[in-house]
Structure 1
């Protein structure tokens, strides 16, 4: 925790951690290895890469969809593929939770990859691993950094609708609240700021930034939003009467390129989501502000930390999934 936090700030974080629960997931000490599939499915990384190349070539936005899906998976029960499960009579999935509905559109890509992997290595590679590998490849394909992906995850036989509503950060959430949610996952403030950089290839829905461009946020220190950018966003997002699903790039400078311009926009008060802008503008953002400035000035520092933080997030596990988990034949349904 940043030593410059006030006692009131620390209390706020502690209270949120208490609300999230007492059981912690851990982003380390996992039984994952780089060569888990070396003998059982040595071509899995090649298959995933080729399918992701096709997906991103057809639509660069598919890269962001896969990264988002991976993030939303790992923050609920760990990286266990639970986000991929569809609702059934006996299972309530996570896709229709408030933080996920109408914003997760990468499942069909995972389905295609899974079908290709199954034809080569039946019942060997988990959907959770496929999603984690695909997220790495998605970033590379739009100009981002490479990192090694430890594998060996099992697919969960459960999902958690309620945790999807409580564990995932929201676009209008305060900085301290989001920090608490990352700490709960075993991720640091540095991890949080670096991982937010994935928004450099992301899109935001009008409903998630409407209050930012039509309201006021007293918690910001400066640059709540530039007037020119506010005007541009208002042309996409009406104040009332619909348009909730209208979208805009969170990085209008290079929306299809994974780079550090997202942080440069925050310096100018041009973050689309209030939760992003607070990393630079919040009164409590003493540590996060310095990280934003560093990544805005040094793309290599951002790439290095993003790679490390993605590995750390991908290693978030729930020990139950290694005991009761499985390798799903179909990523949308538990095996019968």
Structure 2
């Protein structure tokens, strides 16, 4: 089968499309023909050796996928050959024509969910959902500030924040991106390229500050939000798309009495798989109601996975991009 292989940690351009042996499902596993694979910021970090996890090289990257069951491993009774599903794998492997996954970490999907939507639903929306529901315990009527609100996980946070009843303030680096955030439900907009983020948050909250901040950006935006929190607020550390890991003057948390909370979706999925599955069921319900929508910016063939990752890492994506095996695009 064909797969994108990371032979050594390094530049995204070093990734190779190679012919490798197809995997075989073991006990409790399922072999899946990949139909589409979501492309996420952590994928780009992973191949550069900059992510929390560092798999042994060579390996096939790719965290989330939509596919069709091709073979069942020993003991797998709840799935059947030909069934369409979504999933993730702790060993990655999504940028390939086939993947083996734990049968308990995949979820059957119905025919009304397109492959591209399905492939992109788990990681970004799953992260935002876990962050706002389990980590922040976002309440109806609270004010949520979403940084990077036009990226895949930012749009997800805007949509899910609205579904949970919050007032959502979207912060982006351009007017074009803000318009996308508005189309996805944001109540208020801040262009932090032109406006002072801290002052605007204070102004829009009438001096109270944000109840919850969803931050996948880091850098200066985090620093501004750390000074813009309401009492009992929750500042969610989701990622560092800016490339800068900020430092926190912890005296701010003491004086303002707010919490800084880390969000690591991969750890959540591994340690709380049943709650993860409950979250996914709720996400699909919101999807069918139209409260959650997938914004697919571009579809790339598997052979151009490097280009897809570069687009994500350069923060040129509005929504998500997806990779599809070349044979399925012919």
> TM-score category by the smaller chain?
under 0.3
TM-score (norm: length of structure 2): 0.27
Which protein is richer in helix relative to its size?
A: 1
Structure with more relative contact order (C-alpha pairs < 8 Å, separation 6 or more):
1
